[in-house]
């Protein structure tokens, strides 16, 4: 291996600084959302996924390299045994300013307080429908009531911010965007609408046919709410507005209609330990191999991570009307 680079920051070929790591702690999930997974999924064998200790070690390396924000996600992160212990350990890493999580909320009813006490500052919760039947159809196995209880538990647990994530599909839930914003306003939380991304083969619908753009959503909302543009961004793909008359923010994540790659500040660690440099490309580095070949060697791991920055692609090239070129599903990606 070449000499260890002196830079202690993660900067790619295009001058973008990586300060944000998303970590998928499992590819498994108790839901089977139609846009995320096929109904019949094969999950990774346990020996192939990173141990909690390995995840903690890799996260420490990233923080030492200037990462200030880590999002724990999956699959469904709360189905991973021992995840609370991991969160507590991550919450104690010096220099990590923001520990946040994305969850489907099915287990938040009983875990929200512990998660908050472990140091998780904010949570994103997936909620695509307020209709019991539609929710069931989209998630295939989920119960709306349990998720709504999870959201209330999160509100009581005192997170700094709670945000709903809703993937909107034409003729599936596009007629609910106004109700979903009203739900966010009533509960004093934020909401982001996400355009579906062509990740992995799915069997429920044609992604091109069901594409519903952020502009269409904005148009639907404009008859009911005044959305005031916000200048502050998270450095991420969301473009935010505030609903006039309240604190609720409405975000739009538009991988098709508004490319956001120029400001990309993030990389992803998959459950099997692959460092993904871009959501929409396969460029990656096998960090599990590095960690298992050099147990406890922080210098070697940091060197590998710094070198990986040289293969971070400039941008994604999603095309919703074509078969996916990215064969991994979102649950295996760390969305
Ligand atoms: N299970 C957790 C959840 O659903 O919040 C965390 C993992 S999930 C993969 C993270 C986010 O990715 C969710 O908000 C989900 O709606 C979104 N997602 C999954 N598949 C997607 C796709 N093909 N296109 C766009 N967003 C997707
Ligand atoms: Fe599970 Fe989240 Fe994927 Fe739905 S979107 S199947 S909850 S990982």
**Domains in the chain: boundaries:** 10-333
User: Mind listing the pLDDT tens digit for each residue in 74-123?
Assistant: 999 999 999 999 999 999 999 999 999 999 999 999 999 999 999 999 99
Cβ of residue 196 lying under 6 Å from some atom of ligand 1: yes
- SS3 call for 227: strand
- The ligand placed nearest to the CA atom of residue 280 is 1
Distance from first CA to last CA of the chain, Å, rounded? 32
Q: Which two structure tokens, joined as six digits, stand for 69?
A: 């924000």
Alpha helices per DSSP H over the chain: 52-64, 83-91, 108-117, 132-139, 144-157, 177-186, 214-222, 287-293, 298-308
Smallest CA-to-CA distance from 266 within 312, 221, 297 is with 312
User: Mind listing the pLDDT tens digit for each residue in 138-174?
Assistant: 999 999 999 999 999 999 999 999 999 999 999 999 9
CATH 3.40.470.10 fits domain 10-333: no
Cβ of residue 73 lying under 6 Å from some atom of ligand 2: no
State in Å: Cα 330 to ligand 1 middle. 6
**188: left (phi > 0), else alpha (psi -120 to 50), else beta?**
left
Q: Is the pLDDT of residue 318 over 90?
A: no
Q: What torsion do the CA atoms of 195, 199, 203, 206 make, to the nearest 10 degrees?
A: 40
Q: Is the pLDDT of residue 271 over 60?
A: yes
- The ligand placed nearest to the CA atom of residue 200 is 1
Atom of ligand 1 nearest to the CA of 126: 5
Q: Is the pLDDT of residue 249 over 50?
A: yes
């Amino acid at each position: 291996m070449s000499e260890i680079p002196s830079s202690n920051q993660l900067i790619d070929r295009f001058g973008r600084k990586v300060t944000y790591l998303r970590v998928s702690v499992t590819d498994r999930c108790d839901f089977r959302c139609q846009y995320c997974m096929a109904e019949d999924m094969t999950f990774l064998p346990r020996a192939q996924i990173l141990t909690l200790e390995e995840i903690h070690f890799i996260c420490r390396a990233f923080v030492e390299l200037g990462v200030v924000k880590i999002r724990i996600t999956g699959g469904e992160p709360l189905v991973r045994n021992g995840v609370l212990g991991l969160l507590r350990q991550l919450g104690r890493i010096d220099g990590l300013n923001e520990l946040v999580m994305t969850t489907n909320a099915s287990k938040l009813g009983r875990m929200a307080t512990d998660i908050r006490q472990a140091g998780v500052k904010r949570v994103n919760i997936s909620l695509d429908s307020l209709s019991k039947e539609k929710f069931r159809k989209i998630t295939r196995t989920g119960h709306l009531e349990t998720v709504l209880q999870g959201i209330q538990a999160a509100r009581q647990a005192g997170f700094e911010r709670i945000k709903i994530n809703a993937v909107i599909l034409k003729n599936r839930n596009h007629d609910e965007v106004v109700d979903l914003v009203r739900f966010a306003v009533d509960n004093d939380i934020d909401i982001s609408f996400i355009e579906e991304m062509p990740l992995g083969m799915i069997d429920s619908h044609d992604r091109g046919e069901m594409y519903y753009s952020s502009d269409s959503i904005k148009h639907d909302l404009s008859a009911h709410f005044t959305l005031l543009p916000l200048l502050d961004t998270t450095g991420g793909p969301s473009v935010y507005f505030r609903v006039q008359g309240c604190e609720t923010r409405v975000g739009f994540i538009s991988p098709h209609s508004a490319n956001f790659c120029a400001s990309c500040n993030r990389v992803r660690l998959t459950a099997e330990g692959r460092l993904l440099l871009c959501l929409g490309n396969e460029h990656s580095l096998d960090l599990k191999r590095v960690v298992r070949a050099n147990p406890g060697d922080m210098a070697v791991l940091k060197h590998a991570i710094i070198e990986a920055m040289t293969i971070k692609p400039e941008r994604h090239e999603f095309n919703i009307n074509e078969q996916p070129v990215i064969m991994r599903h979102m649950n295996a990606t760390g969305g």
